[in-house]
Amino acid sequence: MAFNLTRRKFLQTASLAAASIPLSKVVSANTGISKSTLDTIGTSGDKTVVGGICEMCFWRCQMVGKVRDGRLMKLEGNPKSIDNGTALCARGNAGVKLLYDVDRLKYPMKNVGKRGEPKWKRISWKEALDECGSRLNSTVEKYGPQGICVFPHGSSAKYPMHFFERAVGTHNVSEASFFQCRGVRDTSYVATIQKAPGEKIDMPNTKVLFFVGDHLGENVHVSHIKQYIQGLQNGAKLIVADPRFSAAAAKAHIWVQIKPGTDTAYLLAIMNYLVENNKYDKEFVEDYTDGFDEFSDAIKEWTLEKAAKECDIPAAQIKEVADMLANNAPNIAIHPGRHATWHGNDFQRGRALACLTGILGAYYVKGGWVPPKSPKLKSISWAKEDHGHTYDLNYNNEDEEELYPFKPPGTPTELIRDCAISGKPYPIKSCVVWGQNPLQTIPKPEKMKDLFRAMDFVMCVDVMPTDVTAWADILLPEPSYLERYDYIKKGTQWDLAQEHQQYISARMPIVPPMFERRDQVYITNEIAKRMGHEDKIPVKNIKELVEKTLASANLSIEQLKAEDGIHIQPGKDPFEIPEDFEVLLFNEDIADTGHPGAPTYLPVPDNPKGYARLLYGRAPVHTFNRSQNNIWLHNEMPDNPVWVNDKVAAQLGLLEGDTVGFVNSEGVKSATTTTVKVTAGIRKDCVYIYHGYGSANPLMTTGAKAGVDDTALITKLAIDPESGCNGMRNNFVKLIKNGKVLDIPA
């Protein structure tokens, strides 16, 4: 079936027309912005520049830029792309406003005031790099490499992260995308199928889409959403478990309005029902799984009735879900999720999703979980040096056993923060923050501020003056994704073209960098020279890094440009199951560490009396805090209204549009307010807001104090016992209206 998805059809199909940002609205009169005349290129000074890879979110769509006399006028999807095609979401279109944001960091700056209340002095790059190198080197000389901690995020942070890990030798590295996002998902699948799952499900060819907490349609990852919509258009049934009537729930054939934190109980009951009633794939289980007897014995307590009571959903509905899965197996697309750090019991939920896929035989089949066979590229980065004995906080106990044996790469955030604040088991005295805003990515932001207060030196590198940059001693500006060489994107596609193809593209600058911004290779290399690692520098500049990476696939930058920015080659059939593939339904290695070898439900605390559980998620026109200062996107979603159940709102006297603040169960009040959204589409025991609002840095002149910062209210820590990842939805709040605190009805 041909798939021709227009922007209008996408918005209609995904039920996003009201929430998203059509291009026609971006250029409408109420924004004061005129529509670009670059639909046809040909006038003097106009050109189309290839090689763009978006970074308005991490999905990284391929695109081209319409440039007039050196100024970017418009962004479009690259017509040659077999990934996102010509489509870009609202955020991708609005990259133009990031590029020309007047608040962007422009020059190296030194804080001559107080951390958190900075007074900025413009300095030269030489002075900035001299100070960074000297201060970091002083820390290493006095405390060892473990005296430095690093909080990186994004493609530009990879090269410096490897420098500090491999060349300098610190283990104190915590990446938000792992410890507050997808890391626990990846490690749970690795412990089950020996592979990280990605989002590798064949949605266009599936018979049933099964989502637990996924809200596709609000994250707007273009190629992923295209595949999702194609599956629905091809007749797939959709099952969504979510406390909220999300965009996905609005398209669901079965919406399970589950109690937050009980997802694993729901999954265990489904699996137990399938096993007890012989509705699982016996042949697949026999050939490709291990530990079935121990697994089935471990889950047998989870009857439909027990799970129904725990999850606050009908037992008949769980049975309906299980039967729909069984009747359509193995062509079942069980989504592994993405932002998977929810309640501190997330490793077991990931294991349950992976095991459910296994007993339905839904690995390596059309419509199931299928790992794409992408092109091979050699990674070019810092070589790992021998530092002798190194200090790893994850081994900090008497028996030298891992505290979190199934952690993602890096060190769990709380281990770093506790060590830095207490000085035990060793001092951490310098902090490098690169592209991450840990005041809005990590729970309990006051604890993060305590870490900064304990430092001798804090260095930040970023594009925008996010909240964390106010805590820097030296603040360095880097180019945006539109101004630099950088990321190599590779992948495979079979579902849209109905043929197996692979692609390779590299991020190349659409326009040159402005002001005094410098890329990650330049900054890292200059610091490396000052720290005595000049002889270990792997590349001289960022363009060489891209060239060497492409050369491993017999490509070059010039060849990519000649191929319109994307190299396409024949792909490989991804549906053949490897002979050594195995699903560990019961994992003895997990059991040997003292954790449950079979997926196990770990209950979470119930709501305190008078409080609702605070839930948060993605906004369709924002990428968390990263896009809050973007004028176009801010115009469409200037704040994050709090979703309140209509019956609860009636009892509290709340009306649509009322202004409210928050206070959490630890007594922390929100610094700002937002408006009320009254809806039947959320459970009575929950409230929901979009994440990333409420910036505190006044240098973000558009995003500052717009909406409520949900992270400031996430002060109750919950750590996943197997992975060390943060639970992010374990806090409870009351609403405040006109100064009065409102108790949420039981």
Confidence of residue 120 (pLDDT cuts 50, 70, 90): very high
| Cα–Cα distance for residue pair 382/111, rounded to 1 Å | 30
What's residue 1's pLDDT?
A: 30
Token pair 């994250």 is at which residue?
A: 219
Report residue 9's pLDDT band, with 50, 70 and 90 as the boundaries. very low
pLDDT of residue 495: 60
Confidence check: pLDDT of 12 > 70: no
How many CB atoms are closer than 10 A to CB 124?
11
pLDDT(479) > 90 = yes
Q: At 546, which helix (H) or strand (E)?
A: helix 542-551
Alpha carbon distance 205, 384 (integer Å): 43
Q: pLDDT band at 7, cuts 50/70/90?
A: very low
Q: What is the mean pLDDT of residues 347-367?
A: 98
723 pLDDT above the threshold of 60: yes
Q: For 60-80, what is the mean pLDDT?
A: 96
pLDDT at residue 39, as a whole number: 39
- Specify the pLDDT at position 389: 77
pLDDT at 29 over 50: no
For the cut 70, the answer to whether the pLDDT of residue 34 exceeds it is no
Ordered by where they begin, the domains of the chain are: 109-180+383-482+515-555 (3.40.50.740), 196-370+579-592 (3.40.228.10), 612-742 (2.40.40.20)
Q: Where are the alpha helices (DSSP H) in 113-250?
A: 125-143, 158-162, 176-177, 183-193, 222-233
Query: How far apart are alpha carbons 135 and 124 in whole angstroms?
Result: 17
Q: Is the separation of the CB atoms in 612 and 224 below 8 Å?
A: no
Q: Is the confidence at residue 712, as pLDDT, over 70?
A: yes
Q: Which amino acid is at 391?
A: Y
Tell me how far apart the terminal alpha carbons of the chain are, to the nearest angstrom: 50
Is 573 within 8 Å of 567 (Cβ atoms)? no
User: What pLDDT does 373 receive?
Assistant: 86
The percent of residues above 90 in pLDDT, for the chain, comes to 87
Could you read off the pLDDT of 203-238 as tens digits, one per residue? 999 999 999 999 898 988 999 999 999 999 999 999
Query: Is the pLDDT higher at 26 or at 521?
Result: 521
Which of 16-25, 386-395, 595-604 is predicted with the least confidence, judged by mean pLDDT?
A: 16-25
- Binned at pLDDT 50, 70 and 90, residue 731 comes out as very high
Q: 346 falls in which pLDDT band (50, 70, 90)?
A: very high
**For range 326-342, the mean pLDDT:** 96
Bond before 425 cis per omega within 30 degrees: yes
pLDDT at 16 over 60: no
Residue 10 pLDDT exceeds 90: no
pLDDT at 580 over 50: yes
Measured between alpha carbons, how far is residue 334 from residues 202, 207, 361 in Å? 10, 11, 11
3-state helix, strand, coil in the chain (%, to 5): 30, 20, 50
Indicate whether 638 pLDDT > 80.
Answer: yes
Distance CA 236, CA 222 (A): 19
- 643 to each of 143, 640, 679, 697, how far by Cα in Å? 48, 9, 7, 26
Mean pLDDT of 333-338: 96
Q: Stretch 298-313: mean pLDDT, rounded?
A: 98
pLDDT at position 401: 87
- Give the burial class of 698: count Cβ atoms within 10 A of its Cβ; 0-12 exposed, 13-18 middle, 19 or more buried: exposed
Q: What is the pLDDT of residues 618-634, one digit of tens each?
A: 999 999 899 999 999 99
Return mean pLDDT, the chain. Answer: 92
**Does residue 427 register a pLDDT over 70?**
yes
